[in-house]
Amino acid sequence: MTSDAIENSAANKAKTGELKTRWWLANGHAQTLYRKFSSAPDLGHSRQRVELSDGDFIDIDWALKPDDGLAERKKIVLILHGLCGCSRSSYVLSLQSLLVARGVSSAAMNFRGCSGESNRLARSYHSGVTEDLREVLSTLLEHYPEHEIFTVGYSLGANVLLKYLGEEGKAAQCSAAVAVSTPFRLADCSRTMLSGLSGMYGRYFVNRLKVTLDDKMRALESAGNRAELERMHQLTIPGRFASVWEFDDLITAPLHGFASAEDYYERCSSSAFLSAIKTPTLLLQSKDDPIIPAASLPAVDTLPAGVRFQLTERGGHVGFVAARESRWLEEQIYRGLFG
């Protein structure tokens, strides 16, 4: 893959990448599952807690902190994980490992409740939770005012990132961004996970979400947080959720001020915010993504001048595992951020 593959033509047309895969990784499911279950680099983290204005917290995990004397450039890459992910997700560690090797500081942001410790409030995280990203970016800039901030989001984190960039326009607090495997239209993606082979991803996610929900209930009870427990008890919580859509309808929506799952999906889908993005941004997607249907991808001729679109034939969902380039995805991200 040459650098030309991630540059827009004058007409801002989409590029189809030449990701060459091994024969046994030649479909979207194989790519997705291989990345999920592959071993991750052994990378140490330094944790920082960001206290939020509503009394909750976000934990960010540093690899090569800016002030430890080893960082070679005054740049920080903030990384946002996907649904049910965390700073120890393989794709996060793979990117941080490459950045460390090149002397670039990076911080992996764990969304609320994803750092190994339940958050303090009933509310959690979701695909449109830009207020938390905004506070974390402000904290980084306050601590490191001489540094440039660059941001990378995967899946749910990519949707949050693009929504934030569109909301902020020219005021966005980052110099460049990369969004990988973005669910641009949340309803389409949630619906895709209701049936067929893609239904296994829906079952995986909703089972993980139920475990996290149960853990939160126990944590709130242990802390004696009656006000937040009351909020949880007002929810309709079945013994088992049938789908991500049902979880979002019964839990995500009422906890975060939405009327329903459909209302949440409509108001938080990043597709509605793309045209307002002013930050140089790379969108990296695969045609064979088993979670994101092709119909939900943005029309390239509607993207603003600074938003580039790289579309590969193969890659799955946050997969992009190449035959001979072990860091193909990370290299694309690095070029997308720094040229």
pLDDT in tens, 42-86: 899 999 999 999 999 999 999 999 988 777 789 999 999 999 999
Mean pLDDT value across residues 146-164: 98
Query: The pTM is what?
Result: 0.94
Instruction: Say what the pLDDT of residue 71 is.
Output: 77
Portion of the chain with pLDDT greater than 70, in percent: 95
Catalytic site residue 289? yes
Alpha carbon distance 84, 213 (integer Å): 12
Catalytic residue among 124, 155, 269, 296: 155
Catalytic residue among 81, 126, 147, 317: 317
Spatial CA neighbour of 192 closest among 253, 258, 265: 265
| Domains recognised in the chain with CATH numbers | 3-186+270-338 (3.40.50.1820)
- Greater model confidence, 14 or 66: 66
Catalytic residue among 94, 115, 289, 296: 289
Long-range contacts of 44-51 (CB under 8 A, 24+ apart): 45/87, 45/108, 47/115, 48/107, 50/135, 50/136, 50/139
Give the model's confidence band at 90: pLDDT under 50 very low, under 70 low, under 90 confident, else very high: very high
Catalytic site residue 126? no
Mean pLDDT value across residues 276-289: 98
Alpha carbon distance 100, 316 (integer Å): 26
Diameter of the chain by CA atoms? Answer: 60
Give the model's confidence band at 326: pLDDT under 50 very low, under 70 low, under 90 confident, else very high: confident
Give the model's confidence band at 15: pLDDT under 50 very low, under 70 low, under 90 confident, else very high: low
Portion of the chain with pLDDT greater than 90, in percent: 88
Mean pLDDT value across residues 110-131: 97
Mean pLDDT value across residues 208-231: 96
